Amino acid sequence: MTCKKTTRKILWIPILCLCAASVARPMPAQDPQPSAARRELPPETRSRLLKLIPTPLPAEAAAQGAVEFYTPDTLYQYMDGGADVYVLYELEAMMHQEFRAGEADVTVDIFDMGADDNAFGIYASERSPEYEFIAMGAEGYRNQGILNFLQGRYYVKLAGFGSGADAALDRFAHAISSQIGPSAALPPLLLRLPQNGRKPHSEQYLLKDPLGNAFLAPAYLAKYSIDGKESTLLVSVAPDADEARERMRKLAEHFRNSGECRPAPELVEGAIRAANSFEGNALARAEGRYVVVLFSSATGPETLFREALQKLQ
C-alpha cells in the first residue's frame, strides 16, 4: 500500500559543534528558576569528582582559585548558549577548576554524564571526523591548546594557554584518565555494527528524537560509504523484543503517512522497503530488541543491511 503526504517531520540532524580553544565565561545570567527548585549536588558526587584530580597535581601545577561545581540547572552560568545539549544528554554534574603549570594556564572541565552512553553521545556530538584523534581514554582528540577525551561516564575537556601548554595538557589528561580507572572503551554496540565501509568517527548516540521520531529513541547511528555514496545505518535500542516490534510498527506507519512503505520478504521476513521525500530510501526490520534502519540512495545497500541484522542477532 502506498500513501503520500506532503507535511511531515524534517530529518533530525545530530548536533555537531566545532570546539573552540576555550569556553568563554560570561557573567551569570538571571536564574530562570526559583532557587528552591534547583537541584543540589549530592556530597558523594562532589567527592567522586574531586578524586579525579590527582594529588600531587600533574605538571607541577598549582590551583588558581577554588573548584566550581555545576548542575543541569546552573550549567548555563558557565557556558551560556551551550548548556542545552549537555542537559539533553542528561548531565549529572560538571566540575571546573583552573591551574597554573609553569608558564601555562590550564583549565579542566569534567562532565559527569551519569552513563557511558550519554557521555559518548555528547562527546560524539562535538567531535568532527577531521580532528586529530589520539589514544586517550576510550577516544580523544586534540588541537593546539585543547585536549578532549571520553572515558566511561565522563567527558573531559582541557584547555591550555602559554608556553608549554600542550605538554601540560598531556600530563593532566593522562593523570585524570588514570584516576577514572580502566573503563576505556567505546560503547559495545558499536563493535557489533559492520566495519567494512564505515566512515571513521561518524558514529553518534541519539538520546532524544532520532530522525525526528521520539519512538525510535535511543538510537545509535553510523555512516557508511557504498559505491561512493553516503549511507546511514540507524539502530534503535528498545528494552525488549516486544517494544522493538512496536517501534517497527510505528516506523512503517510513519512511512505510510509520509511516503510509501511495502513488505520486503525477498530481503528477510519482516523487512520493509520505504521512502519519503525527507529521509529518502530506507530498509528496516526489527531484530531482537533492535530496530535496524538503513537509509541509502546507493545501488545494492541490501548487503550492508543483511550484515547489520546478522551481527545484531
Question: In the chain, pLDDT over 70 holds for what percent of residues?
Answer: 88
* Torsion-angle region of 154 (φ positive above 0: left; ψ -120 to 50: alpha; else: beta): beta
pLDDT digits (tens, 9 = 90+) for 105-163: 999 999 999 999 999 999 999 999 999 999 999 999 999 899 999 999 999 999 999 99
Query: Closest Cα partner for 187 from 200, 208, 203?
Result: 203
Domain edges within the chain: 37-180, 189-311
Strands 146-151 and 154-161: antiparallel
* 3-state secondary structure (DSSP) of residue 143: strand
Answer yes or no: CATH 1.10.3470 is held by domain 37-180.
no
- Beta partners for 96? 68, 109
pLDDT at residue 40, rounded to an integer? 85
CB count within 10 Å of CB 287 equals 20
Work out the average pLDDT over 225-240.
Answer: 95
Q: Rg of the Cα trace of the chain?
A: 22
Q: Tell me whether domains 37-180 and 189-311 share a fold.
A: yes
65: cell is 582559585
pLDDT digits (tens, 9 = 90+) for 254-284: 999 999 999 999 999 999 999 999 999 999 9
d(CA 190, CA 138): 12
Give the architecture (CATH level 2) of 189-311: 3-Layer(aba) Sandwich (3.40)
Confidence of residue 103 (pLDDT cuts 50, 70, 90): very high
Task: With a cut of 60, say whether residue 24 has pLDDT above it.
Answer: no
Task: With a cut of 80, say whether residue 14 has pLDDT above it.
Answer: no
Residue with cell 597554573: 100
Task: With a cut of 80, say whether residue 230 has pLDDT above it.
Answer: yes
Confidence of residue 183 (pLDDT cuts 50, 70, 90): confident
Confidence of residue 76 (pLDDT cuts 50, 70, 90): very high
Q: What's the count of helices (H) and strands (E) in the chain, helices before strands?
A: 7, 15
